[in-house]
Amino acid sequence: MTTLSQALQSCDMLLVDGLHAFDFTFDETGLHIESMDGRTLKKWSFTPEQIAAARAEGEDWLIAADSTEHRLVCMSAFRAADEDDDETPTDEPADR
């Protein structure tokens, strides 16, 4: 069974309470997230104990902080392939 800690180590994007968050850090001090909601900067911080106590609900994670429960979804961002990888060398002149 995967833990939230394990899921966080392999993801590069989070959905937290419905907001996409690319700016987050996960280390021995816990999970720290920042996301823009319109013009408002939202921040969340979770301790290692809160992360360990998170429970899975399908692909989502429910994590309690203070008197509120937050919903996290660990995601992988799509990345474009390197342009160099797609090019194939040809012997033909470029102006043909």
pLDDT, tens digit, 9 for 90 and up, residues 2-43: 899 999 998 989 999 999 998 999 999 999 999 999 999 999
94 inside domain: no
Q: Please give the residue that has the higher pLDDT: either 1 or 7.
A: 7
Domain tally for the chain? 1
Q: What is the domain-level CATH number for residue 37?
A: 2.30.29.190
At residue 9, φ and ψ (nearest 5 deg) are -70, -25
In the predicted model, what is the mean pLDDT of the chain? 85
At residue 31, φ and ψ (nearest 5 deg) are -115, 125
51 inside domain: yes
89 inside domain: no
Residue by residue, DSSP assigns 24-61 as: EEEETTEEEEEEEETTEEEEEEE-HHHHHH-EEETTEE
14 inside domain: yes
> What is the DSSP code (8-state) at residue 31?
E
Instruction: Give me the domain span that covers residue 39.
Output: 4-78
pTM, two decimals, is: 0.75
pLDDT, residue 76, reads 81
Which CA distances in Å does 36 have to 19, 21, 87? 8, 8, 37
pLDDT, residue 29, reads 96
CB-based contact 42:32 (threshold 8 Å) = no
Going by their DSSP bridges, the two strands 23-27 and 60-65 should be labelled as unpaired
Residue 81 has pLDDT above 90, yes or no: no
> What is the DSSP code (8-state) at residue 37?
E
pLDDT, residue 24, reads 94
